């Protein structure tokens, strides 16, 4: 008889998805510590391309060899096809990207590889799990979806099912991209037109960003907002330069997650800056807050508390 464990009662937990790869890896490590059990053999990862799934997986499973990642690296042959259960040093955990592998193998074959690995007591991390669920015929032990939010669930026979997770996050990642691009455009104006050095501290929250200053700056927030809106109207893009930087108006700037940006700044909707700086007595910094979109989704447990005059 199976004895239920304490966190078998988990229905779903949600976190807003940060943008930087280091922040994603740190959050992934936290999720693994809180929710991953030693007996979990099948972990499903769900999310659209460019949402930081690779960084999240690296945080949850440090040292895991990814068969594909955001850098375009593809491991061939697929390690899952060459499991030698007689070798003591064979890996315990395997990864595969179903979206990629379906270009080479049929769903039934991939499902068979996963089942064989599970029978050999291996752990399998499956990206785009919703695409193999039907052929596999079983749900994951742990399901993780990443879009604007990160949803983590421990499904049972009644669900949630992969399609439920996908439908919850589908199309929401655009807000992360809008906020990230708006942040870089704001930094561009601060550095190029106001002469500020690159801020040392960044943070983010649902549909927004925070830029922190060690001393109270003296710029006019209305003017800054109008300058950034002018760049958005022109369609100035924030383009990936390499894995650690982007290019804005032909100038290179550091960026910890260059893939999470809109193709054109014209895609940024309803950009605005709160019209006052927030002083944080803990960090002793002044925070400039920017927002995009129409407010946080209803699924968020907490709502950011701003007064009407903060927008005026």
Q: What pLDDT, in 10s, does the model give residues 46-86?
A: 999 888 899 999 999 999 988 876 555 677 788 888 887 55
Both structure tokens of 93:
């955990």
| 258 pLDDT higher than 80 | yes
pTM for the predicted model, two decimal places? 0.83
| 200 pLDDT higher than 90 | no
Closest CA to 129 of 105, 96, 106: 96
Q: Is the peptide bond before 160 cis (omega within 30 degrees of 0)?
A: yes
The pLDDT score that the predictor gives to residue 129 is 97
Distance (Å) of CA 266 to CA 94, 202, 211, 221, 311: 40, 23, 22, 21, 22
Alpha-carbon span 46 to 128, nearest angstrom: 5
Q: Pick the residue with more confidence: 152 or 245?
A: 152
Q: Is the peptide bond before 91 cis (omega within 30 degrees of 0)?
A: no
Q: Pick the residue with more confidence: 237 or 37?
A: 37
At 12-27, the pLDDT tens digits run: 898 988 887 888 999 9
Alpha-carbon span 212 to 283, nearest angstrom: 10
- Which residue segments constitute the domains of the chain, with CATH numbers given? 6-169 (3.40.50.300), 173-311 (3.30.980.10)
CA 70 to centroid of chain Cα atoms: 12
Closest CA to 105 of 80, 73, 130: 80
At 100-116, the pLDDT tens digits run: 999 899 999 999 999 99
Residue-averaged pLDDT of the chain? 86
- DSSP letters, 44-55, are EEE--TTSSHHH
Alpha-carbon span 56 to 23, nearest angstrom: 9
Distance (Å) of CA 152 to CA 62, 69, 96, 176: 18, 21, 19, 18
């Amino acid at each position: 008889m199976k004895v239920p464990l304490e966190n078998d009662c988990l229905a779903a937990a949600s976190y807003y998805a940060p943008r930087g790869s280091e922040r994603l890896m740190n959050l992934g490590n936290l999720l693994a510590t809180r929710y991953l059990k030693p007996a979990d053999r099948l972990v499903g990862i769900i999310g659209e391309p460019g949402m930081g799934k690779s960084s999240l997986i690296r945080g949850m499973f440090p040292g895991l060899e990814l068969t594909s990642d955001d850098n375009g690296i593809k491991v061939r042959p697929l390690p899952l096809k060459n499991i030698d259960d007689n070798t003591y040093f064979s890996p315990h955990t395997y990864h595969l990207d179903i979206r990629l592998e379906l270009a080479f193998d049929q769903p039934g074959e991939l499902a068979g590889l996963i089942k064989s690995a599970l029978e050999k007591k291996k752990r399998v991390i499956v990206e785009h799990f919703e695409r193999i669920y039907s052929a596999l015929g079983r749900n994951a032990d742990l399901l993780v979806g990443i879009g604007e939010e990160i949803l983590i669930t421990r499904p049972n026979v009644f669900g949630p099912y992969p399609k439920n997770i996908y439908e919850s996050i589908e199309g929401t990642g655009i807000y992360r991209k809008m906020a990230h691009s708006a942040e870089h455009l704001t930094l561009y104006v601060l550095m190029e037109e106001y002469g500020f050095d690159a801020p040392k501290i960044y943070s983010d929250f649902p549909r927004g960003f925070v830029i922190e200053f060690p001393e109270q700056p003296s710029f006019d927030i209305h003017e800054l907002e109008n300058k950034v809106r002018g760049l958005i109207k022109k369609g100035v893009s924030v383009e990936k330069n390499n894995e650690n930087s982007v290019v804005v108006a032909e100038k290179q700037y550091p960026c910890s997650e260059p893939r999470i940006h809109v193709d054109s700044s014209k895609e940024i909707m309803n950009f605005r800056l709160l019209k006052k700086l927030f002083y944080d007595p803990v960090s002793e910094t002044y925070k400039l807050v920017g927002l995009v979109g129409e407010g946080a989704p209803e699924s968020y447990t907490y709502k950011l508390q701003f007064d009407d005059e903060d927008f005026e």
